[in-house]
Amino acid sequence: MRALRAARFFWELTVDVSTLDPAADEGGAGRPRAADASAQAHDASTALASPSLWPQRLDTGWACLSTPPNAYASPLDLPEQGWLAAPVPGTVASARRAAGLLDVDHPPPLAFDDHWYRLTLIGTGRRRLRFHGLATLAQVWLDDVKRLDCASMFITHDLDIELNGRATLVLCFRSLTPALAAKRSRARWRPRLVSPPTLRNVRTTLLGHMPGWCPSIQAVGPWRPIEMLGDAPHAFDTIDLTSRLEHDDGVVSLTLRFVHPHDVATCRATLACGNHVSCLQWHDAYTLTGDVRVPHAKRWWPHTHGEPSLYPLTLQLADVNVICQPLGSIGFRRIEVDRGADAAGFTLRVNDVPVFCRGACWTSADLVTLAGTETQLRHTFELARAAGMNMLRVGGTMLYESNLFYGLADEYGLLIWQDFALANFDYPNDAAFSALIEREASQFLSRTRRFASLAVLCGGSEVDQQAAMFGLPAGRREQPLFTELLPALVAREREDLPYVSNSPSGGAWPFSTNEGVTHYYGVGAYQRPLADVRRAQVRFAAECLAFANVPDDATLHDALGTVHAHDPRWKAAVPRDAGAGWDFDDVRDHYLQALYGVEPARLRYEDTARYLDLSRAVVAELIGDVFAEWRRAGSPCGGGLVWQLQDLRAGAGWGMIDATGRPKSALHGFAQTLQPLQVTLTDEGLNGLDIHLINERAQTFSGELELVCLRDGSVKVTSARRALTLAPRSLQRISAAALLGQFFDLTHAYRFGPRAHDVTIATLYDAASGEIVSEAFHLPERSVHARNELGMTVQVERRGDGNGWQLAIETKRFARFVHIIDPHYRAARDWFHLAPNRRCIVPLHAFEPLLPTAFAASPQEVVAPASNGAFKVDETSAAPQGEVRAINALSAIFYG
């Protein structure tokens, strides 16, 4: 019945292209989002009086039908039953999810059937259709005549048409089977990552084709917007915006092409960048060009090092009428790579300042739609920024993200490392394939020229590594795609950005850790001890760590449906490498035993809750230790990106954020060590502890440093305090032994008798306010067997502004990995250590799952958005109810 209703819905809907309103841009020629300040400032009367200058989005009225491969040669033969209402932009999977017909645990092989989309258009005259992304082998038909073939999901296509009243637009997405079976040059190696290996011949994302990595939801459909270029006199065709720095000035360059010719003698145009305005020139009747200079422009910075300053852009056209059109915003920055004195390093310099890049590898905001909503993206970007991340990497196994993604990165001050959508394979080297790559890469580079956040361009992911691990010498594994074609394109289109041929690359082996860019899994999959982090001498880790990160109990219960680590539902979500006799649960369990001295299998079946809490704690501890080592004074490391940022399904995946949008312990562990103003501790063995003080800001910091050693979690056995000043962009190392001024076995390395203390706490205070800026903790013994009554108290309070809730937590003894469990609220701070007799305020945020996610089964599970696009959240009604635990506490404390 649902399918019949959908079919009837299709026949009742048509689209009149003369009346469509434009929607927010997801991949077009640079249209600003509705949320842009410049767009909000747009004069309402002008907007109403003038036809839209932006292309019209064909978002509504679509229906789709799935058929066996090659069952129908043309739209003329299609049946009238079985059609589903289809969101566009969207995928076949998103249409099925909306209809409640998608089983994400056992999805059908969508890429191996045919899928038809159709829409009725009404209008008269010449039009241009623009398809921003059709996944993957697609045909475009108009009134039963095939007009276009598409062989890549990453390429934008234009199609000029003539409308004479009513026309039917049909898209057909053909099965990949013939393309995968076609004979091509023989590959020199076949990676295990992807199935089938002949996907190397097809330009599609590897998402959905990586068993053990993500659900097999394959990309099929019009995943990017479809537009009809407007018929208004000043309708935009393409907009090309770039920015550059000339000494202290910022310069914006615009090339704007219109759909229709203009009278260049009567139409005047200006471009404003902030308060600075310049006249534009007509290159021809269709094209405006020109620059605007901003004297002493504010620089765009990653948020850890300054403000991500952006300037609003406004175009003014004046002939008979005056039209003011916001064009979004733009920033000014300079980006370079410092390879060091030995030419083997990799440190990013932004505006001539070295930046320690830290963050994670991006997967997808929504595997089903391949895009996600603005709400989903903002939520994830906010969590990343709050955790101290300043870089995200979009890897070659993923895809090119939307303009919205890069625009939000600009706004939030997050650098983007972008791989071209190439990974692992020995790619074809014939002219046709190279032409596809050149076209998709050129389009991406021109589309993203305006975004200040784009920082590094990389040829591909683990391509050279795969060949080297198969034993091929350097001469036999080289691909001109990465050494000739792509670097030439980058030099032509984005000379302002550094290019890396492969991630990893550099050194005797491409994956050597002590040269260039590496993927560091020494601590992680290779189960090396923590000492390996220093021994590896990592210069830059574009991927690292990778643990099966356990979500909170609420996600395990509500989304996964089990808390048992050997339940088939649990194991289905645990990532694994094809052909390996282990998975990433085993990796985490190795460190659980090595660091905490517990036997994981025994603990798992004797005390599941304890096993889960310790599994979460050990990951937070490992991440904190690794990054403290990489940020220390004297470290050669220029950055590290954790694999991965977000899960694609509910469960113990690689993600630091689970599939519902809840942060995991890994993200909180990251946040404890990676703030712009930070104190960290490193264990130097017989030399005691080193204290590292980091100030990445442009302002001098004045404060006090306190070092305290406690026995039994409460008895002070030694301490010291010192006033200090941290210069801007500085890093200081202080020996704890020198700070104390007397011998004390801080690391219990000498072992002259029983250990004298349980924990060392380094606290950095602000001199003016006396508030704690940062804390670091060192435990000379990490065993988790001792559990005590901590004297913990928890109070639920209204926030100071009366809007929302917070917890006030205090203990009499040191609390190790305090964890807050509330099914309806998310703690802004979690999985942290708490010093005794120190009142800690933790804000709580009402939590709604960011659905639809990959595990949503029906539209009833989708949270209704509010009118402003955000999810409805009431933080003033029901008081929080939950519990607070610590892994060294005898029992939990309940509140509410």
Task: Find the CATH number of the domain harbouring 14.
Answer: 2.60.120.260
Overall domain count for the chain: 3
Same domain, yes or no: 719 and 833: no
d(CA 175, CA 152): 13
Give me the DSSP letters along 426-450. Answer: ----SHHHHHHHHHHHHHHHHHTTT
The confidence score (pLDDT) of residue 51 equals 55
- Distance, CA of 21 to CA of 51 (rounded, Å): 9
Closest among 458, 465, 464 to 400, alpha carbons compared: 458
Instruction: Identify the CA nearest to 61 among candidates 89, 83, 87.
Output: 87
Quick one: 180 and 99 in the same domain?
yes
CATH number of 873's domain: 2.60.40.10
| Phi, psi torsion values for 110, nearest 5 degrees | -60, -30
- Closest by CA position to 453, among listed 402, 389, 409, 423: 409
829 and 763 together in one domain = no
Does 64 fall in a domain? Answer: yes
In this structure, are 832 and 721 located in the same domain?
A: no
Give the Cβ contact number of residue 599 at 10 Å: 11
Facing residues of 66 across strands? 115
Residue 743 in tokens: 């011998």
Q: Residue 538 in contact with residue 558, Cβ under 8 Å?
A: no
- Which residue range forms the structural domain that includes residue 728? 677-778
User: Do 766 and 798 share a domain, yes or no?
Assistant: no
- Direct distance between the N- and C-terminal alpha carbons of the chain, in angstroms, rounded to an integer: 46
Three-state secondary structure call for residue 307: coil
Q: Are residues 819 and 868 in the same domain?
A: yes
State the Cα–Cα distance between residues 69 and 449, nearest whole angstrom: 39
Question: What order do you get walking across the sheet with 715-726 strand by strand?
Answer: 715-726, 701-711, 759-766, 772-778
742 and 803 in a single domain? The answer is no
Hunting for tokens 């506490």 — which residue is that?
889
CA-to-CA distance for 644 and 398, rounded, in angstroms? Answer: 12
- What is the value of pTM for the model shown? 0.93
Residue 95 lies in a domain: yes
Q: Give the span between the Cα atoms of 187 and 205, in whole angstroms.
A: 19
Residues 834, 693 within the same domain: no
DSSP, res 22? P
Domain boundary among 201, 228, 255: 228
The pLDDT tens digits for 266-284 are 999 999 999 999 999 999 9
Residue that the structure tokens 């009367």 belong to: 45
Asked, for residue 451, whether it belongs to a domain, the answer is no
Asked which of 750, 778, 806 is the last residue of a domain, the reply is 778
- Rounded average pLDDT per 10-residue block, the chain, 896 residues: 32 35 44 42 33 88 97 95 96 96 92 98 93 98 96 98 95 97 90 92 96 92 95 91 97 97 94 97 97 98 98 93 93 97 96 98 95 95 98 97 98 98 96 97 98 97 93 91 98 96 93 96 96 97 97 91 89 88 95 97 95 98 98 97 96 96 97 97 96 98 98 97 97 96 94 93 97 97 95 94 92 98 95 97 90 40 35 59 97 95
| Structural domain includes residue 543 | no
Is 263 among the domain residues? no
Same-domain pairing of 63 and 175: yes
Which of 191, 212, 228 is the C-terminal boundary of a domain? 228
Structural contact between residues 624 and 669, judged by C-beta atoms closer than 8 angstroms: yes
Whether 533 is in a domain gets the answer no
Residues 132 and 183 grouped into a single domain: yes
Task: Provide the token pair at 599.
Answer: 């036997």
Tokens of 628: 């403290």
Both 756 and 800 in a single domain? no
What gap in Å lies between CA 640 and CA 642, rounded to an integer? 7
* Burial call 156-191: b when 16+ CB within 10 Å, e when fewer: bbeeebebeeebebbbbbbbbbebbeeeeeeeebbb
Q: Which of helix, strand or coil describes residue 242?
A: strand
Measured between alpha carbons, how far is residue 794 from residues 93, 618, 628, 725, 839 in Å? 45, 24, 30, 35, 10
Residue 408 phi/psi, 5-degree rounding, is -65, -35
Rounded to an integer, what distance in angstroms lies between the CA atom of residue 454 and that of residue 456? Answer: 6
Q: Are residues 852 and 766 in the same domain?
A: no
Query: Taking Cα atoms as reference points, which of 867, 373, 348, 888 lies closest to residue 613?
Result: 888
Residue 668 parent element (H or E): helix 665-673
Classify residue 634: in a domain, yes or no: no
Q: How many residues does the chain have?
A: 896
Write down the pLDDT at residue 34.
38
Contact 411, 308 (CB under 8 A): yes
Domain assignment present for 708: yes
